[in-house]
Amino acid sequence: MKVAFFDTKPYDKLWFDPMAKESDIKIKYFENKLNDDTAVMAKGYDAVCVFVNDTINAQVIAILAQIGVKLIALRCSGYNNVDFKAAKEHNIKVVRVPSYSPSAVAEHTAALLLAVNRKTHKAYIRTKDSNFNINGLLGFDLAGKTAGIIGTGQIGRMFIDICRGFKMQVIAYDLYPKENSGIDYVTLDELFKRSHVISLHCPLTKETKHLINEQTIQKMQDNVFIINTSRGALIDTTALIEGLKSKKIGGAGLDVYEEESEYFFEDYSNEIIEDDELARLLAFPNVVMTSHQGFFTKEALEAIARVTINNLKEFENGKITNEVVLKDNSIVEKRN
């Protein structure tokens, strides 16, 4: 089986090469992201392997179908960047990695919360400059505060456990509550009203896009902290900036950004950031932003490579697992 691997980073090869060799899968690595211009590079390949910021719209899928690609293998759990209607029309299968390491993302969520609360990012810079003044670094005890968790899949539940370890009160919202989980589910409005910290762990869909917006921010407590390690477009960035400016939002920890595809995973340290909203977020002293690294642990990378290679091998053998399909205008996952 021949696979065109897009948006390649050095760490991808480290984990995929030995597993692909063992499974007799031939991978051609491309540093380019998959999009309308680069899709033709997959000519002669059976499948493409793509990541979160690759573009897999109707036009790209049409090109892939025309040049003979039969499978889109996502090496991630999210699939909001895929046009499933087009994939169905062109009979191209889509598979993903449904779970790799919930601990990795949940722990990074906690790291962002602690950093934005206790200003460790600012303290680090000060002490590196031999400035040991602690004025302006005041935080608050997490113990006794209320954490509102939106989305209670594996990552959300793992973060709930972490919050409980901090002795926080935890409430949650999910369209599909987990039965017999011991989780205190409430309505979204109640979660917004009661939470000192709101953490997002839900997928990006038409229903959840801009879940955090001007109206919902007004329902929140003053000085609320918002943490997002899921998908950037869950938050209306303009509304977030206004909330930070008005001090309605006390701080934000962001591992994702609404328009991240151009910048995240790349080095722009010697260039001017032309995205005004991204530049504005980076300027706030009470915003801690990382570049979509929540998944970035050894355990997670090993799991991503293993499941992706298995998905490819099984497709080659006429079997398909972890498939995501469009059914009755809804996106569902099939596991055979």
User: Which pLDDT value is given to residue 222?
Assistant: 98
User: Which pLDDT value is given to residue 146?
Assistant: 98
Assign 110 to helix, strand or coil: helix
Assign 165 to helix, strand or coil: helix
Burial of residue 314 (CB within 10 Å: 0-12, 13-18, 19+) is: middle
Helix (H) or strand (E) holding 333: strand 330-334
- Please write the tens of the pLDDT for every residue from 47-83: 999 999 999 999 999 999 999 999 999 999 989 999 9
- Please write the tens of the pLDDT for every residue from 219-275: 999 999 999 999 999 999 999 999 999 999 999 999 999 999 889 999 999 999 999
Measured distance between the N- and C-terminal CA atoms of the chain, rounded to whole angstroms: 21
Range of lowest pLDDT (104-113, 202-211, 284-293, 326-335): 326-335
- Please write the tens of the pLDDT for every residue from 86-145: 999 999 999 999 988 899 999 999 999 999 999 999 999 999 999 999 999 999 999 999
Q: What is d(CA 8, CA 95) in angstroms, rounded to the nearest whole number? A: 18
Q: Cβ distance 84 to 331 under 8 Å?
A: yes
User: Which pLDDT value is given to residue 245?
Assistant: 98
User: Which residue do the tokens 């869950």 mark?
Assistant: 234
pLDDT at 334 exceeding the cut of 70: no
Confidence of residue 329 (pLDDT cuts 50, 70, 90): low
Mean pLDDT over each residue of the chain, to the nearest integer? 95
User: Which pLDDT value is given to residue 261?
Assistant: 87
pLDDT at 279 exceeding the cut of 90: yes
The encoded tokens of residue 133 equal 């003044």
Catalytic residues: 231, 260, 292
pLDDT at 327 exceeding the cut of 90: no
User: Which pLDDT value is given to residue 331?
Assistant: 72
Q: What is d(CA 245, CA 20) in angstroms, rounded to the nearest whole number? A: 49
Q: Helices 102-118 & 120-128, crossing angle to 10 degrees? A: 70
Domains of the chain (ranges; CATH) run: 2-100+297-334 (3.40.50.720), 102-289 (3.40.50.720)
User: Which residue do the tokens 């801009």 mark?
Assistant: 210
